[in-house]
């Protein structure tokens, strides 16, 4: 599914976080490594693996299918 800036704006307002993150990555065309770099530049250290889990949502962390 192709997302738009309007979809992103709505998800940033309403959530859930994992869908907002996934949509932001798709709309902006950012790889996780680039997000990691941007966060590190702002003093937030987070691994690419963590970012990947965050975009997958709670089902991925609990072992359930999305």
Q: pLDDT by residue (tens digit) across 7-49?
A: 999 999 999 999 999 999 999 999 999 999 999 999 999 999 9
**pLDDT at res. 17:** 94
Closest Cα partner for 11 from 23, 28, 1, 2?
Answer: 23
Sequence-distant (6+) residues with CB within 8 A of 19 are 11, 57
Helices marked H in 15-47: 17-28, 32-41
- The values of phi and psi at residue 13, to 5°, are -85, -40
- pTM equals 0.78
Predicted pLDDT at 2: 81
Contact between 36 and 51 (Cβ < 8 Å): yes
What per-residue confidence (pLDDT) applies to 26? 94
């Amino acid at each position: 599914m192709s997302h738009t800036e309007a979809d992103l704006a709505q998800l940033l307002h309403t959530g859930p976080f994992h869908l907002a993150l996934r949509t932001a990555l798709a709309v902006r065309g950012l790889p996780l490594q680039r997000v990691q770099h941007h966060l590190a530049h702002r003093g937030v250290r987070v691994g690419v693996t963590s970012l990947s889990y965050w975009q997958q949502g709670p089902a991925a962390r609990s072992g359930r299918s999305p």
